[in-house]
Amino acid sequence: MIPEKIKLEIYTPERKVLSEDVSSVRVPGAGGYFGVFPGHTPFIAALQVGEIKVDIDGAETRYTAGGGIAEAMPGSVSIMAETCELAGSIDVKRADEALARAKKRIAEGRKSWDVDRAQLALARALNRLRVGSR
């Protein structure tokens, strides 16, 4: 029997972000976004920087995801994210500052900064701004 809801749990290294029964969840997988509904086939996926959309009885809630992994089961989804924030709690000013800092570090190049790390910081800042501004 297919469950009506799935248990969604989102964790970061610092805290449990969410533990709730939901209708569905859309997650930024490394190969593209994927949706998980009750009764989903089990799988594990790597996550990329992007937006997590959670549907609870037609009400949508959005979170940022800063990479990590997700495990889907027929009745549950567990997301272990490097970073995760509720859209409404994003400090847009701080995200703007992080964006400017990342752009500066990329422009200064490898002699001064780890450019790969700066590019990831840039992607996270852009994602926070995009999700937080909706």
CATH number, domain of 126, equals 1.20.5
Is the pLDDT at 126 greater than 90? The verdict is: no
Three-point CA angle 110, 112, 118, nearest 5°: 65
Is the pLDDT at 127 greater than 80? The verdict is: no
Is the pLDDT at 134 greater than 70? The verdict is: no
What pLDDT score does 109 carry?
Answer: 72
79 and 95 fall within a common domain: no
Select from 54, 71, 87 the last residue of a domain. 87
CA nearest to 64, candidates 124, 133, 134: 124
What pLDDT score does 114 carry?
Answer: 74
**Total domains, the chain:** 2
40 and 82 fall within a common domain: yes
**Contact status, residue 23 vs residue 58, Cβ threshold 8 Å:** yes
Instruction: Examine residue 1 and state whether it is found in any structural domain, yes or no.
Output: no
Instruction: Examine residue 27 and state whether it is found in any structural domain, yes or no.
Output: yes
pTM, full prediction: 0.78
63 and 116 fall within a common domain: no
**Contact status, residue 24 vs residue 6, Cβ threshold 8 Å:** yes
17 and 76 fall within a common domain: yes
What pLDDT score does 18 carry?
Answer: 96
Summarised one tens digit per residue, pLDDT across range 64-117 is 998 999 999 999 999 999 999 998 887 888 887 887 888 888 787 766 667 677
SS3 content of the chain, % helix, strand, coil (to 5): 30, 45, 25
65 and 119 fall within a common domain: no
Summarised one tens digit per residue, pLDDT across range 14-65 is 999 999 999 999 999 999 999 999 999 999 999 999 999 999 999 999 999 9
